[in-house]
Amino acid sequence: MRRFLLPLILLALFIGESIFVQVTPHDLLGSGKIAVPRFLMVALLFLTIFGSKKHGIFYGLLFGLLFDIVYVEIIGIYLFLFPVIAFITTKLMRILQTNIAMASIIVLLGITLLEAGVYQMNLLIHHTDMEFAVFLSSRLLPTLILNAIFIILAVYPFKRLSEKFADSLSE
């Protein structure tokens, strides 16, 4: 049962993101502001930082595919970005100190890369005509604020869960 805990939590976060979007008021941050919950990405990056790098990338690939199948018309963008951002995170954490503050900043950087990648792909295939400055102020900044609040609330449980998962792998 213990080895299924992490995938179940990741699945709950995957489902919880869409529920969060449905239950929060759309004008919470003001008109035209879009705050995208990236709770699953936060958990994946904390798993990559504090737990198993290999499993962080694997779950990034798995949930990226699931994210593309369920939410996106084009399969590939999240399938590509989730594991690539997890991989970049592993490389950055080799250089930087592995503490909660630095990990939180790196996770926010990962979310920035994810949002920028999705924006660029949508711009490339003409799904959006939003200017980059508008994207920064109306989507990226509210998304980072929302996810920073989530990180503040969830950093210690995710750190502990990731470390326990890594310990169970070594046993």
- What does the alpha-carbon distance between residue 94 and residue 92 come to, in Å, rounded to a whole number? 5
pLDDT of residue 2: 67
Listed by start position, the domains of the chain span 2-170
pLDDT of residue 82: 98
Q: Give residue for tokens 């084009």.
A: 74
- What does the alpha-carbon distance between residue 150 and residue 165 come to, in Å, rounded to a whole number? 21
**pLDDT digits 0-9 by tens, 104-156:** 999 999 999 999 999 999 899 888 889 999 999 999 999 999 999 999 999 99
C-alpha triplet 11, 12, 15: angle, nearest 5°: 85
- CATH: 1.10.1760, 3.20.20, 1.25.40, 3.30.360. Which one for 2-170? 1.10.1760
pLDDT of residue 165: 85
Q: Is the pLDDT of residue 74 over 80?
A: no
SS3 31: coil
SS3 161: helix
| pTM greater than 0.75 | yes
Signed CA dihedral, 109, 45, 85, 68: sign only: negative
